[in-house]
Chain A
Amino acid sequence: MPKSLISIQDFTKEEILHILDVAEEFEKNKSQTFLSDKVIACIFFEPSTRTRLSFETASNRLGARVIGFSDAANTSVRKGESLKDTIKMVSNYADLIVMRHPIEGSARYASEVASVPVINAGDGANQHPTQTLLDLYTIRQTQGRLDKIDINMVGDLKYGRTVHSLLQAMSHFSPTFTFTSPQELMMPKEYKEFLDEKGIPYKETSDLTQHLDTTDILYMTRIQQERFTDPMEYDKVKNVYSLNSSMLANVKPNMKILHPLPRLQEIAEDVDDTPHAYYFKQAENGMYVRMAIISYLLGKR
């Protein structure tokens, strides 16, 4: 089975650091067309703007050609084709598969069926490892290091897959965590147990302002409507946090705000012009990191 990237836990600390170093190389030199003999399939069974465009751009900048679809509605999946059959077929056409799918565990399964590497571009509420790697890249870029960072995660810590994967990945680097969330969306017990086992300290609060001034990285997330089965539950919490520029008066000068985007009202637009806003640059970094991951899995870096 070729090496795939399905869960952030699939990569060792050394592999993570290698990817970040390669991504740095691509940020300096954006177009390196050494994959001009490769075809990359981007198959998206669920809508996405940023992730799909950044994967397609990353592939193009490496010289590869891209096939795929952005919506399963116009494919044989609608006729009832199994995921296995779709993956078998695409494996025969392409050298690497980038897949997003709403069902959890679908990416792991695809990697077992495929004869080429698979990159998980999000499998429902489970994993989104390329987001995690670009978050790590951005943290290192803004702080000059990954070790001993104070990270404050805000918003939906219960369903938010990006915060879960980031927590697992950062556990290699002796961080300190603050979890800011409403009661209904607190960090699940299994992740807190994971931190306890590793001896990593964390604080929990429902007040966004409480730990802002000691934070190095403020990791904001959207309350995701699509993860709620009960619309009443969503209405209760959807507007719970709203960061605006007046709240940033006493934060550390190196403090940067990250957000996996799309953002709603959780970050007011007046924050965009402060030196702490970094979420658009973070999205740009996604392209370099995805170039690095593709090159690594195809054995070119």
Chain B
Amino acid sequence: METTEKQLKVSAIKNGTVLDHIPSGELFRVIEILGLSHSTTPVTFGVNLDSKSMGTKGIIKISERFFRDDELNTIALIAPNTSVNIIRNFEVVEKKILTIPETVTGIAKCANPMCITNHQDVKTKFRTITKNGKTRLLCHYCEKTTECKNLKIVTYSL
């Protein structure tokens, strides 16, 4: 059965968060947005997996981590159709629908090379503008817009 095969590809978790139906090309940016490279609990992921609705998809399973809604909603900037499942004792106990946040602080990098946030130690801050299904970020500082499809993630040094 197909579902069993999928579960074999990325093994099930007991407790935690599962992000499914991520476009394959966006999987690594989702990992970046959530800062999963610094995770101390097990994270498993798969990319270019077969998907009936999407052709291929990515999936991320994070054990023993439950995110705040505002953390999850930042994923909507690049992968708005991601499904979020909260797992407890191997069961899906909650499904969350992502909404594009009104403001984005300190995650995205401003695309304007002349912006102050790219020159001094200033946390980025944006207002989101969604038009015709496309989301852009309006920089609070330089007042220029960054297309979400070109979005770069601010990497913090720990």
Binding site for B on A (CB under 8 A): 7, 82-84, 102-106, 108-109, 123-127, 190
- Contact of A126 with B120 at beta-carbon distance under 8 Å, contacts A103-B114, A104-B115 already known: no
CB–CB A105/B116 < 8 A:
yes
A190 contact set on B, CB distance < 8 A: 145
B14 is an interface residue with CB less than 8 A from chain A = no
The complex places the Cα of A103 from the Cα of B113 at a distance, in Å, of 9
- What are the interface flags for B128-153 relative to A under an 8 Å C-beta threshold, 1 for contact and 0 otherwise? 00000000000111111100000000
Given contacts A82-B121, A108-B140, 6 further A-B contacts (CB under 8 A): A7-B143, A105-B142, A124-B114, A126-B143, A126-B144, A127-B143
Beta-carbon contact of B143 and A109 below 8 Å:
no
Enumerate chain B residues within 8 angstroms of A7, measured Cβ to Cβ: 143
Pick the 3 closest A-B CB pairs, nearest first: A105-B141, A104-B142, A105-B142
8 interchain pairs (CB within 8 A)?
A104-B114, A104-B115, A104-B141, A105-B139, A105-B141, A106-B141, A125-B114, A126-B144
Closest to A84 in B: B120
Contact B144 A104 (CB under 8 A): yes
Q: How large is the interface on B (under 10, 10 to 19, 20 to 34, 35 or more residues)?
A: 10 to 19
Q: How far is the CB of B148 from chain A (nearest CB, A)?
A: 15
Which single residue of chain A is at the shortest CB-CB distance from B110?
A105
* CB of B68, distance to nearest CB on chain A (Å): 25
Contact residue among B112, B120, B141 (Cβ-Cβ distance under 8 Å from A108): B141
A105 touching B145 in the complex, CB below 8 Å, given contacts A82-B121, A83-B120: no
- CA of A141 to CA of B155 in the docked complex: distance in angstroms? 52
Asked whether any CB of chain A lies closer than 8 Å to the CB of B119, the reply is yes
In the complex the two chains form, what is the Cα distance from A106 to B122 in whole Å?
10
What CA separation (Å) do A127 and B141 show in the bound complex?
11
In the bound assembly, the distance between CA atoms of A102 and B114 in angstroms comes to: 8
| Interface residue B17 (Cβ < 8 Å from any Cβ of A) | no
The CA of A126 and the CA of B140, in the complex, are separated in Å by: 12
Q: Which residue of B lies closest to A193 (CB)?
A: B131
Give complex CA distance A82, B120 in Å: 7
Q: Which chain B positions have C-beta within 8 A of A82? A: 120-121
Asked whether B117 is an interface residue with its Cβ less than 8 Å from the other chain, the reply is yes
Q: A126-B142, A127-B143, A190-B145 are in contact. Are A104 and B116 (CB under 8 A)?
A: yes
- Whether A103 touches B121, Cβ cut-off 8 Å, given contacts A7-B143, A126-B143, is no
A108 to chain B: which residues have CB within 8 Å?
A: 116, 140-141
Contact B115 A103 (CB under 8 A): yes
Q: Which residues of B contact A109 (CB under 8 A)?
A: 116, 120, 122, 141
Question: Which single member of B116, B139, B140, B145 contacts A103 (CB below 8 Å)?
Answer: B116
A127 / chain B contacts, CB cutoff of 8 Å = 143
Determine the chain A residues whose CB is within 8 A of the CB of B143 once the complex forms: 7, 104-105, 126-127
Note all chain A residues with C-beta closer than 8 A to B142: 104-105, 123-124, 126
Collect the chain B residues with CB atoms within 8 Å of residue A102's CB.
114
Interface centre among B115, B121, B141, B145 (most CB of A within 10 A): B141
* Inter-subunit contact B115/A105 (CB<8 Å): yes
Most-contacted residue by chain B among A7, A104, A108, A124 (CB, 10 A) = A104
Closest to B129 in A: A190
Task: Flag if A105 contacts B117 (CB, 8 Å).
Answer: yes
